[in-house]
Amino acid sequence: MKKAAKKKARPAAKPLPERRQKRVLREVVDELIDLVREVSRNAPEMGAADLEYAQERLQWLADEIWRLALEGGDESLL
């Protein structure tokens, strides 16, 4: 006769936190990444005005990311 294996009770697993709690912040980061990729691919063909605009946009996005990160990136802050 085999003895029934005694099972130890495992503690309940903690639910993982939502990865995108700071949705607005994530969206701005994604926009910055998309713009960097676009500029990286097209810089040689871009005119001076387009490059200047891209640089200003990148700076604005970086500033916005910094602001959202410090304030928590919550939608209610916009």
| Pairwise CA distance, residues 13 & 55, whole Å | 46
| Pairwise CA distance, residues 15 & 44, whole Å | 48
In this prediction, residue 21 carries a pLDDT of 73
Per-residue pLDDT of the chain (78 residues; tens, 9 = 90+): 556 656 666 777 776 665 657 899 999 999 999 999 999 999 999 999 999 999 999 999 999 999 999 987 555 444
pTM across the whole model: 0.66
Every domain of the chain and the residues it spans: 23-77
How many beta carbons lie within 10 A of that of residue 53, not counting itself? Answer: 12
